[in-house]
Structures are given as C-alpha cells and as structure tokens.
C-alpha cells in the first residue's frame, strides 16, 4: 500500500517557516546559496514553482476567508431565485484572438455564478483566425444569456467595449476582460449592493491576480472611494460596475486612451456623479489573469502608462485645476504623482510647537529655519516661561508663555490664536528636516479647497516608518498604517508611495488652512487634552465633507519615542485610555463602519 500523501497545510506551514527563517538570517541564506551554486543550472527551471512566504500566507487567507462552501453557495442561489424583480447585470466583454481555453474559462466562471440574472454581451473585435467567433456561437447556442456580435473591422478595446455596452439590456454594466475570472459570489455581491443603494452609479471591488497555473496572488484590498488615489492609479479597475445610464451619458470609453481606457472611464464617470453614489465592495470579486513571463513588452507597458497620464491630465483640466504638474511617483513610476505648486506670493506658514518647558529652541527649529525652502514662515513656541534660560532673538521665532500644566491641545490652540499665517502647521518639537521642499508639498496640498488637513510621512532614526496616516480601529480607535515599513517600501497598492486619503494624520506634522482650523473649533482641549485630539480634529473635518490626506512626498525624521505618537503630552497609559473612551463614544458609528469593512476583508484591511 502506498504511503499516504502529506496534508498540504502542514507542508505550507513548514515551507513558510523555512522561508521566513532564511529571510531573518542573511548569513544562513548566503551559506545555503554557496552550497547550492553548483546545482543551480539543474534547479533553475523548477525554482519559479516554489511559493514565497507571502504567497503561502495569502493561500492560507483564501482558505479561511475566501472559500465559498456549497451550503453558502446554495443559500445564495435560493436567495436570488426568491427575489422579486432582481436586477439584470450586463457583463460587457471585448474579445480579440483570445486563446480558446482562456475564453472558455472566463465564460465558465460566469456560468458558475450563484446569481443567475445576468447576460454576457461579447464583441469579437474582428479576430482574424475565426476561432473566437466559432466558440461564441457554440456557447450562445446552449445558453441564451450569452449574446455576441462580431465587428467587421478591428476597432481596438475601447470601440469593442462600447459595442458591448450598446448591447446591454440591464441597468448596470460590469466590465470584464476576455481572459479573466470571476469568483462564484461576484454577481451576488454586486446585486446585494444595488439593492442597498438603488441610486448607485459606480461600484468596485477588491481584486487579485491569477497566474498561468491558476494560482492566486497579489491581492489588492482597496480603500473606500478616494478621488486623490483615483488620479494616482486606477482605483476602480476590477471589478468595475457602472450604471448603464451613466455610461451612455458620458459616451462610454474613449478610443484615444487605448491601454488605459478603463482609467480614463473611471475618472470621467467619477467626475460625472457624486461620491455618495460610488461604493466599494470589500471582497475580492475579480481574478486578473497575468500574462506569461516575458509576453508583455516594456513598450506596451510604457504606452499604457502614457495613456493613463494623459487621462489624468485631461481630468485635471476638465476640473479646472490649472497649473498642476504630473510626474512619475518616485517609488512607483507606473503610477502618478500630482504636484500642486504654490503660486507667488507664498502665504505665511505659522509653525505651532508645544513644549513642556520654555526658554529653549525645540529640535525642529534648525531644520525649519535653515534647511527649508520656504521663507515666509514663523515659529510660535507655546511653553511655560523659564526666566533663567536666554531666548533666541530670531525675528521669525515667537515664544508664547502658557501656565504650567497646560495640556498639549490647549497650548496648540493658544499658539494658533496668536499665529499670523494663513497656513498652520502643527509640529512635534523632535521632528527634523530631510529635504528642503517638504513644506512646499504640504502647503500645495493644504491650499486646495477640498482638503481639510494634510500629514507628512514620518521616519524613525532606525529607518523605519513611524507615520503614514491612521486607519480607524474599533479596539484602539486608530492604528498606524504599516508601522515598521522601510523608507523605500511601496506598500500594498502603493499606499506608502502615493498621496491618498486617510482617516486621520498625526499632529506631529499636520498642516491646515487657518480658516479650516478655526471653523472646526480647533483641538478639543476639554475632552481630549493630552491624546487623540489630532485624530478627533481630522474626523471632524471628514464629517464636514473635507478630505484628510497623507503625502509621502513630504518626508521628515521623527526623533521622539514611538509611543509618543500621536502627541501624548504628557505621556501615560491612563491619558491615552481616557482619550480612547471619549473617542469610542463620539465616533461610534465610524468605528462600527470600519469593523464591517474589516469583516468583508477577512481582517486584511490595511
């Protein structure tokens, strides 16, 4: 009798442990590499099949959080059949010379849906070989939900997709490539969202990729709609859902942006509706097939990036945001950095620093006054008076004497009241400058009318990330995004390399327009004197409809202790827990919403 095969789960755990150990011990890794060097010519063809630790982790996540049981699938089918007037979902698919096996698999993933009320609108974009036409005719003959037509001339992806949209009879169109896959629950989740939001105009889901062996990898757990991030990358992408009326009103896809026609569509569609009609489904509902290694040329990739940047520039021009420059994002050149230059004369920036004791310059002063490319600034230091310490005479520095025991929030409010600048910058005294242009980046973002507050990227002395924005967390109220990442890390979905919306930014480096700070009532020094007053201010700005942004293009060094973020003044677990209790009561609804999103992601929300 043959020996039983080992269970794949223990093997996966062992492999993950081995790979993790090699990563943590470079010397061991180097030794094994030298031993294996003579055998490399024989091993190389097989190495690509070895899963990485990250892939093994994602496979485990799929098993636990993204595997549909037969009982769950049957319940979804019964629910769909019991509904009165279920929405008809139209899937628009352009096809051109698709390998038959891949096209069959794509359509099979539709036929396996637990939601049966769909139609597939396929347009064969004049494929020269004829096998696409034959396959579509064959499959349409056995399933009336499959409808197709053939173009007599090749019109490329935008025109072919528009033809498919023109065939749609449903109120909502889903865009699907001819070789990709939908998980069985995809249309069920879309229909559920439509029932919840009948005025829906745009919806999008999380997505991952699938290789030639059918292995899923590279999940992208997306945030809720972020117009800032949409310009930096195609946030909507897959699975993209649009109301048919909106698509027809804006004219569908534009042929001039082939290669990034879907990014151009998402930008124009978002501009033609309001954020309340744009919704994110926090589930992976699309498997994006990746081409075999080497089959996608650099020339094609460059063409797509150029088309995407052209679409973004057109979006900016249509919105009347003149003078905005588009550049490649330094850490992620296939995505975009938007620069918002400040036209002269530059406004005065009042830098507000709260010190536990007065009479001396904070650590941030030298970098601020001597190594920052922004002449129009003043430094307002709020601190208890210390008569025996001489104070500097620089005209840009003002000391504001506050009573001993004044909280950090109260000290910053007093400094803001004395400030003369149109822009206010809350700054921790232990922050230092890494680049002269950081203040211009913050100011360019903060002066934009939709923006309420903007925060900088803070790095520790060990080269690890201290702050790149806060995410809401029902237990701790907020938690830092990807703490401990390195300075050059891009992060999932580019979250550390692109400007984007966040729930809150740290008061260790936060800029606002003075009018915004005053309209919001400043920092809550009564209920939140020592901690989380910066987070509370950001949430109040969001409640007022303003955006809170984090920009990685203003990077600073934070020399303070990590546990002092956000601004714990004085530090103490009791002060922080008291602040959390206030925030849990005040922002219960927002915290509950983030709990629901985390449940949809299986706890994988960044």
Mean pLDDT by 10 residues, the chain (606 residues): 42 48 51 55 50 77 94 97 96 96 97 98 95 96 97 94 97 96 98 97 97 92 95 96 98 93 97 97 96 56 91 94 87 94 95 85 92 96 77 87 92 97 96 96 95 96 93 91 90 94 96 98 96 96 96 93 48 82 95 69 54
pLDDT on residue 196: 96
Task: Identify the structural domains of the chain with CATH numbers, from first to last.
Answer: 71-311 (3.90.550.10), 349-561 (3.90.550.60)
- Residue 405, CA atoms < 13 Å, CB-side half-sphere: 0
| Residue from 385, 363, 379 nearest 419 by CA | 379
Cα–Cα dist 380/155, whole Å: 62
Which tokens go with 330? 């330094």
On the question of a cis peptide bond just before residue 349, with omega within 30 degrees of 0, the verdict is no
Residues 603 and 596: their CA atoms lie apart, in Å, by 10
Q: What are phi and psi of 437, to 5 degrees?
A: -100, 10
Asked if residue 183 lies in contact with residue 285, where contact means CB atoms within 8 angstroms, the answer is yes
- E strand or H helix at 594: helix 588-600
DSSP 344: S
Tokens at residue 563, please? 């546990």
Measuring CA to CA, which residue among 141, 91, 100 is closest to residue 121?
Answer: 91
Angle separating helix axes 186-196 and 70-82, nearest 10 degrees:
40
- Residue 498's pLDDT is 96
pLDDT the model gives residue 84: 93
Are 421 and 511 within 8 A, CB to CB? no
- C-alpha distances (whole Å) from 577 to each of 353, 477, 571, 580 are 24, 10, 11, 5
- Is residue 502 within 8 A of residue 491, CB to CB? The reply is no
d(CA 329, CA 322): 20
Residues 528 and 478 sit within 8 Å (Cβ to Cβ):
no
In three state form, how does the secondary structure of 231-264 look? Answer: HHCCCCCCCEEEEHHHHHHHCCCCHHHCCCHHHH
Which residues, other chains included, contact 468 with Cβ-Cβ below 8 Å and sequence gap of 6+? Answer: 457, 458, 480, 481, 482, 485, 491, 495, 496, 550, 552
Position 292 scores a pLDDT of 57
**Residue environment code for 157-192, b if the CB has 16+ CB neighbours within 10 A, otherwise e:** bbbbbbbbbebbebebbbbbbbbbbbbbbbbbbbbb
Q: 514 CB contacts (<8 Å, ≥6 apart)?
A: 350, 416, 419, 421, 422, 423, 424
Phi-psi region of 165 (alpha: psi -120 to 50; beta: other; left: phi over 0): alpha
- Give every CB contact of residue 259 below 8 A, 6+ residues apart in sequence: 300, 303, 304, 306, 307, 308
| Secondary structure (3-state) at 549 | strand
pLDDT at 353: 96
| Cβ neighbours around 255 below 10 Å, total | 14
Sign of CA dihedral 50, 52, 53, 58: negative
Q: Write down the residue that tokens 């049957």 correspond to.
A: 74
How confident is the model at residue 123, as a pLDDT?
97
Where is 286: in which H helix or E strand? strand 278-289
pTM: 0.87
DSSP 291: P
What is the Cα–Cα distance from 306 to 299, expressed in whole angstroms? 11
């Amino acid at each position: 009798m043959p020996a039983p095969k080992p269970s794949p789960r223990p093997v996966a755990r062992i492999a993950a442990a081995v790979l993790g150990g090699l990563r943590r011990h470079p010397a061991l890794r180097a030794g094994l590499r030298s031993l294996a060097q003579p055998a490399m010519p024989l091993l190389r063809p097989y190495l690509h099949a070895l899963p990485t630790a990250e892939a093994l982790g994602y496979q485990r996540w799929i098993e636990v959080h993204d595997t549909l049981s037969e009982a769950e699938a049957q319940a979804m089918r019964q629910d769909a059949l019991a509904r009165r007037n279920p929405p008809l979902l139209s899937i628009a698919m352009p096809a051109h010379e698709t390998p038959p096996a891949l096209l069959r698999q794509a359509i099979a993933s539709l036929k396996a849906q637990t939601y049966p009320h769909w139609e597939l609108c396929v347009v064969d974009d004049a494929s020269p070989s004829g096998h696409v036409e034959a396959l579509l005719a064959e499959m349409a003959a056995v399933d009336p939900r499959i409808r197709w037509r053939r173009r007599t001339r090749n019109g490329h992806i935008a025109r072919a997709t528009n033809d498919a949209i023109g065939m749609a009879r449903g109120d909502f169109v889903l865009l699907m490539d001819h070789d990709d896959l939908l998980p069985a629950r995809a249309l069920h989740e879309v229909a559920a969202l439509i029932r919840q939001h009948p005025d829906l105009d745009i919806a999008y889901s999380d997505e991952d990729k699938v290789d030639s062996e059918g292995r899923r990898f590279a999940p992208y757990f997306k945030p809720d709609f972020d117009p800032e991030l949409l310009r930096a990358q195609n946030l909507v992408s897959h699975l993209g859902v649009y109301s048919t009326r909106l698509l027809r009103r804006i004219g569908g896809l534009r042929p001039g942006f082939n290669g990034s026609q879907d990014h151009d569509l998402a930008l124009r569609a978002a501009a033609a509706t309001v954020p309340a009609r744009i919704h994110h489904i926090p589930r992976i509902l699309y498997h994006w097939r990746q081409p075999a290694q080497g089959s996608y040329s650099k020339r094609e990739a460059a063409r797509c990036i150029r088309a995407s940047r052209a679409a973004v520039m057109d979006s900016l021009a249509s919105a009347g945001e003149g003078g905005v420059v588009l550049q490649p994002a330094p850490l992620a050149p296939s995505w975009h950095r938007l620069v918002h230059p400040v036209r002269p004369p530059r406004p005065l920036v009042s830098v507000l620093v709260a010190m536990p004791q007065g009479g001396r310059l904070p650590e941030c002063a030298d970098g601020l006054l001597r190594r920052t490319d922004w002449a129009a600034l003043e430094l307002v230091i709020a601190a208890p008076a210390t008569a025996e310490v001489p104070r500097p005479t620089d005209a840009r520095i003002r000391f504001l004497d506050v009573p001993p025991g004044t909280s950090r929030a109260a000290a910053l409010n007093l400094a803001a009241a004395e400030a003369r600048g149109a822009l206010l910058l809350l700054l921790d005294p232990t922050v230092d400058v890494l680049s002269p242009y950081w203040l211009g980046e913050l100011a360019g973002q903060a002066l934009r009318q939709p923006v309420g507050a903007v925060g900088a990227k803070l790095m520790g002395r060990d080269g690890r990330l201290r702050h790149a924005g806060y995410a809401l967390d029902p237990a701790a109220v907020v938690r830092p995004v990807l703490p401990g990442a390195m300075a050059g890390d891009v992060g999932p979905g580019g979250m550390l390399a692109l400007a984007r919306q966040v729930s809150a930014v740290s008061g260790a480096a936060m800029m606002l327009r003075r009018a915004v700070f005053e309209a919001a009532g400043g920092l809550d020094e009564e209920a939140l004197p020592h901690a989380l007053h910066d987070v509370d201010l950001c949430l109040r700005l969001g409640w007022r409809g303003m955006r809170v942004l984090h920009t990685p293009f203003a990077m600073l060094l934070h020399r303070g202790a990590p546990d002092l973020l956000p601004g714990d003044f004085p530090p103490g677990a009791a002060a922080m827990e008291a602040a959390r209790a206030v925030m849990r009561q005040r922002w219960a609804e927002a915290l509950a919403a983030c709990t629901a999103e985390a449940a949809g992601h299986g706890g994988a929300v960044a």
